[in-house]
Amino acid sequence: MNFRMSFIEFAVEQRILRFGEFTTKAGRLSPYFFNAGLFDHGDSLRRLCQFYVQAIEADGLSFDMLFGPAYKGIPLAVGIAMTFAGRGRDLPFAYNRKEAKDHGEGGLLVGAPLAGRVLIVDDVISAGTSARESVEIIRAAGAFPAGVAIALDRMERGRDARSAAQEFEENHDLPVIAVANLDHLLGFLQHHPEFAAHAAAVHAYRQHYGSFA
């Protein structure tokens, strides 16, 4: 089993990826729900970050440091940096605050100074707001955004025929690296008979709302 399918299996086992009826932010009735905020134990976060590193290394993207947008990106940046360090690559990382601190060191940024090619790490790209803000922060610091790494690409149409990830890639000329996407989820479901009913519902959702751009 490749790491993308292993990630889907892991997310299902941990009940981070659930099946049923869920209303998305866009008001769509989805047959599945992915909540990366439920990777809330040390071992589950450790394993999640290992999957991120596998996806980043498989992509071959060149970058110099990590940036985690507040809030879910913060533990991801820390965990992914630690995972890379365990593999012999010591990367600096930084993250932002939602509100500027007016005492102590002050400012919006915490961690290493933003420099070189900066890889943004987050859980998903929905409306793309967090990713766009991260790009602005990185460029304002005189550094260069290298791309965005996320856990799951839902591959849903956004404001047009493109998905949120595709829209971000085209608008910013930056790659989005996903550990897994909706097609990987469908592949997993099709090979697990116990999820047959959910497979049909997810496939129908993909046909109705999916981006095929």
- The pLDDT tens digits of the residues spanning 56-88 come to 999 999 999 999 999 899 999 999 999 999 999
Instruction: Please say if the pLDDT value at position 198 is more than 70.
Output: yes
Relative to beta strand 107-111, strand 176-181 is unpaired
* pLDDT at residue 8 in the model: 96
Q: Examine the residue annotation and report whether 103 is marked as an active-site residue of this protein.
A: yes
pLDDT of res. 128: 66
CATH code, residues 3-209: 3.40.50.2020
Q: For position 213, what pLDDT does the model report?
A: 58
Rounded average pLDDT over 188-202: 90
The predicted pLDDT at position 101 comes to 55
What mean pLDDT is predicted for residues 178-190? 94
> Using an 8 Å Cβ cutoff, are 83 and 52 in contact?
yes
Q: Residue 98 has what pLDDT? A: 74
Active site residue 184: no
130 membership: H or E segment, kind and range? helix 129-140
CA-CA-CA-CA dihedral for 90, 94, 95, 96, to nearest 10: 180
Q: Give the pLDDT of residue 17.
A: 95
- Across all residues in the chain, what is the average pLDDT? 91
Distance CA 45, CA 112 (A): 22
User: How high is the pLDDT of residue 12?
Assistant: 95
C-beta neighbour count of 5 within 10 angstroms: 15
pLDDT above 70 as % of the chain: 94
Annotated active-site residue in 41, 72, 98, 101:
101
Per-residue confidence (pLDDT) for residue 157, from 0 to 100 = 84
Exposure of 176 by Cβ count < 10 A (0-12 exposed, 13-18 middle, 19+ buried)? Answer: buried
Q: Is pTM beyond 0.85 here? A: yes
What single letter denotes the amino acid at residue 12? V
| The pLDDT value given to residue 126 | 75
Residue 30: per-residue pLDDT? 93
pLDDT digits (tens, 9 = 90+) for 97-142: 876 655 445 578 999 999 999 999 999 887 667 899 999 999 999 9
Structure confidence by residue, pLDDT tens digits, 10-64: 999 999 999 999 998 778 899 999 998 899 999 999 999 999 999 999 999 999 9
Instruction: Please report, for residues 28, 114, 138, 145, 149, the alpha-carbon distance to residue 153 in angstroms, rounded to integers and kept in the order given.
Output: 16, 26, 23, 20, 10
Q: Which two tokens stand for residue 49?
A: 């970050």
Q: What average pLDDT does the segment 144-166 reach?
A: 91
Task: Pick the catalytic residue from 103, 184, 191, 208.
Answer: 103
pLDDT, residue 158, reads: 75
